[in-house]
Amino acid sequence: MPKLEGSVENIVFHNEENQYTVARFRLNDRGRLFRDDLTTIVGVLPGIHPGELLSLEGEWESDPRYGRQLKVTSFVQRLPASTEGMVRYLSSGFIKGIGPKKAQAIVDHFGEQTLAIIEQQPELLTQVKGISSKDCERIEKAWLEQEDVKELHLFLQSHEVSMSVATRIYKEYGRESIRVVRENPYQLADHVSGIGFRTADDIAVKLGLPQDSLARLATGLKYVLTQAANEDGHCFLLESDLIRRAAHILEVPSETLQGAMEQLHSEQDVFIEPPTSSLEPMASEKKPGTTSEEIGEDDADTLESSSALESRIYFGPFWYAENGSMRLLRILRNAPSCLPPTSQKQWEIVFERLSQQRKMELTERQREAVQVGYQQKVSILTGGPGTGKSTSLRALLMLLRTRKVDVALAAPTGRAAKRLTEATGVQAKTLHRLLEYAPHDNSYQRNEENPLPFQFVIIDEFSMVDILLFYHLLKALPRTSHLLLVGDADQLPSVGPGNVLRDLLRSQAIPAVRLTDLFRQAQQSRIVVTAHQINQGIVPTPKIEAHSDFFFMKEEDPFRAQQLVLDLVQRRLPAKYHFNPISDIQVLAPMYKGPLASNY
């Protein structure tokens, strides 16, 4: 690995957030061919300034645009020795209000002793003409901050911690950084952006902290909770499951975790629900828990479960989302409706007009879906593909439009929102756009203080909505508005934590209409028919039919299967269906590695 020594000539680019820096570097006389030769150095270089002396280690790389440059992996800073370097260093911008003129005056006055004076007797700077007591204070403060940053970098570099991590730590803790890292590096996982348990654990190992320290085990338990949410979609873990998972991940015996479990009781971002009666409604394992736990305590089936005899351990955001959703659903259901009532005779007139004027012949179940959606403050419309959910929605929207009801349509993704718009003829938005999500601070502008201006809100593809997004939706709903959730409960649950649609249906606390009849048009699609067969436990036939939209092609050799997929995408599907192979076809791969992998 190349090692260079020299001085920073100037800073070409610097990103304050991640400290990525591009600088021009002047090698010392022994390392350069020509006196004016400058080398470009790049990398995470926090706290460097023109005029500083650096010892660098890194790798040479060739950038197609900027040419040969050294990607720095580690560096050691030293203060400039020459008066010229001191002037550049002091006027580099790290001391506000000190430019080249004042820097030159200071160096002219103190000469080679300038930096020693600043470090040891900064009050003498007022002797320099043009340097005020305020300038003196600024110089002293900036000098101390630079010294702290350098000390932290040296400390962490000696323990093989990257410079980018060191910079994030200093931004959080400032002069306390070294003390915090020495005493409990696991604090970093809670407080420093971009540092998780794994990084904090690596730092602790390099510092020589014991594997069974209480700080490591307690932070590790919280890490397991977040991992269970992010990777498995669980909003909580039962105590025994948490201990089992943590013991495996932390590589410690289960019994050593008891002290850490006790400490969790005092953590503000962890909630522990004590064991309950064995006859309590239980939600599914991948669950939000909102409905089946308490909203529907009068309606939900009581299922005996040994898991009710164990504590449930929640990571904070999911506990708040579950309990908040429960509270807001109760309020929404019990609040008065803003819609005019409709008698049974009026309903008959509505459906007759839909039949005569709109040519919409609704089944009894679809009529029920329209009535329930209109009459109930919160309701669910569910059913598989081809069962008439979109037709029911169109009928409901026509009724709402004639009564001049303000309606909002939304779906979790842009593609789903586009399909909803095409199916209903009403403009739909993504849920994030509806709630006016602000990515810069991860917040929603629509909330309890600034609710949505709609009397009726319809959310399609609701199976994709996780508990956190559902909570934010409920916070943004006016109390008098109606909410209709539309989705297929047999689809895969949301990517995020929770299984909201399935749990709401299972609780039986929210009025729901399930459409089951497969319409004739849908029956012509083998994809739709096959989906229903799979839900019914019927193994679909792999027989290929000429006019079908569903094909099963068997190929056991992975390389031949790869060629088959390429041929389908590049030639056969575009030729038969006039698809654009880039924009109209999506290939789902079953694995990450190998000839049939997504990253092959």
Q: Which residue has the tokens 């350069």?
A: 32
DSSP 426: S
Q: What would the pLDDT profile of 318-377 be if each residue is shown by its tens digit? A: 999 999 999 999 999 999 999 988 888 889 888 888 888 777 888 899 999 999 999 999
Q: Which residue has the tokens 């495996």?
A: 248
How far apart (Å, rounded) are the C-alpha atoms in residues 7 and 138? 25
Give the pLDDT confidence score for residue 527 in this predicted structure: 73
Q: Is the pLDDT of residue 147 over 80?
A: no
Q: Is the pLDDT of residue 36 over 60?
A: no
How far apart (Å, rounded) are the C-alpha atoms in residues 118 and 146? 12
DSSP 568: I
**190 CA to centre of own chain:** 16
8 Å CB contact between 431 and 414: no
C-beta atoms surrounding 374 within 10 Å: 23
Q: Is 339 left (phi over 0), alpha (psi -120 to 50) or beta?
A: beta
Q: What would the pLDDT profile of 249-264 be if each residue is shown by its tens digit? A: 999 999 999 888 988 8
Q: What would the pLDDT profile of 518-571 be if each residue is shown by its tens digit? A: 755 545 677 777 776 777 778 777 777 767 778 888 888 888 988 999 999 999
Q: Is the pLDDT of residue 287 over 90?
A: no
How far apart (Å, rounded) are the C-alpha atoms in residues 328 and 339? 20
8 Å CB contact between 221 and 236: no
For residue 554 the two structure tokens come to 């068997």
Secondary structure of residue 304 in the 3-state scheme: strand
Give the pLDDT confidence score for residue 163 in this predicted structure: 66
Question: What band does 285 get if pLDDT is binned at 50, 70 and 90?
Answer: very low
CA nearest neighbour of 569 among 551, 585, 553: 585
Give the pLDDT confidence score for residue 155 in this predicted structure: 76
How far apart (Å, rounded) are the C-alpha atoms in residues 52 and 9? 8
What global pTM score does this model have? 0.69
Which domains, and CATH codes, for the chain? Answer: 1-8+20-42+52-77 (no CATH), 149-207 (1.10.150), 335-517 (3.40.50.300), 553-599 (no CATH)
Give the pLDDT confidence score for residue 283 in this predicted structure: 39
| Beta-sheet pairing, 443-444 with 456-459 | unpaired
| Distance (Å) of CA 158 to CA 74, 166, 188 | 10, 12, 18
Give the pLDDT confidence score for residue 293 in this predicted structure: 40
Q: What would the pLDDT profile of 499-513 be if each residue is shown by its tens digit? A: 999 999 998 999 999
Q: What would the pLDDT profile of 393-415 be if each residue is shown by its tens digit? A: 999 998 999 899 999 999 999 98
H-run or E-run covering 475: helix 467-476
Q: Which residue has the tokens 């980018």?
A: 164
Q: Which residue has the tokens 């010229």?
A: 84
Give the pLDDT confidence score for residue 81 in this predicted structure: 78
8 Å CB contact between 273 and 314: yes
Amino acid at 287: K
Give the pLDDT confidence score for residue 300 in this predicted structure: 37
8 Å CB contact between 314 and 324: no
DSSP 594: S
Q: What would the pLDDT profile of 305-329 be if each residue is shown by its tens digit? A: 445 678 899 988 999 999 999 999 9
Secondary structure of residue 395 in the 3-state scheme: helix
Q: Is the pLDDT of residue 286 over 60?
A: no
Share the mean pLDDT of the chain: 83
Burial class of residue 531 in the structure, from the number of CB atoms within 10 Å of its CB (0-12 exposed, 13-18 middle, 19+ buried): buried
Question: What band does 276 get if pLDDT is binned at 50, 70 and 90?
Answer: low
Q: Is the pLDDT of residue 453 over 90?
A: yes
